[in-house]
Chain A
């Protein structure tokens, strides 16, 4: 384990379903991130949280809704997704939200929308 745990590892959902992805870290980090990784594309930053406050929403559709109830947990709530949303969703954390920080990544959730 890398220190950042993501569940579930795999998720298949229909376009009308509602599901949530979970990310947990006990590294004492104060910044957490959601990334989307599609095949052969660079990682796309979706959301950034610092000290439980959202500081970045990178033009993400409203069918993705993040939640950070405390500094150790981050959720991504999903509803009414489209097939093009199928991807690997990665959570990461860093000690603080400043440039140059080293990231710790989770193993990701492989999402398939049918």
Chain B
């Protein structure tokens, strides 16, 4: 069974600071890893998808890295803004499995 852990559970930073969110998974035989954003009381919005053969993926101020052998991914958000306040979840597809395994998320608050 794939276990996905996200640390810390919550994070509060002043505006302008860079954010570093961590995700670890127990089974390194993954197909891809995805990062999602969830605003309070809302559904999930896909941010980045990293294939198992990739080391990183970038979109604007967001950069996600993947180290499959150590079972880790990191989401970096540069120059944080109050609008970045949300919960960020990572999820992995194991190889030969159509199901996504999710972490519990990191709730980010960016203070103006």
Residues of A at the B interface (CB closer than 8 Å) are: 2, 4, 6, 40-43, 45, 48, 56, 88, 90, 92, 97-108, 110
Contact = CB atoms under 8 A, between A and B. Distances in A.
Contacts of B49: 102
Secondary structure of the B contact surface, majority rule: strand
Given A2-B43, A88-B41, A90-B44, A99 B93 contact: yes
Interface in B26-56: 31-32, 34, 36, 41-46, 49, 51
Interface residues of B, number: 29
B103 A108 contact: no
Most buried by B among A56, A104, A105, A106: A105
Q: In terms of DSSP, what is the predominant structure of the interface of chain A?
A: loop
B61 interface: no
Contacts of B86: none
Interface of B: 4, 9, 31-32, 34, 36, 41-46, 49, 51, 89, 91, 93-105
A102 B41 contact: no
Nearest to B96: A99
A67 B93 CA distance: 25
A89 B105 CA distance: 16
Closest 4 CB pairs of A and B: A105-B43, A43-B102, A105-B44, A42-B102
A105 B91 CA distance: 14
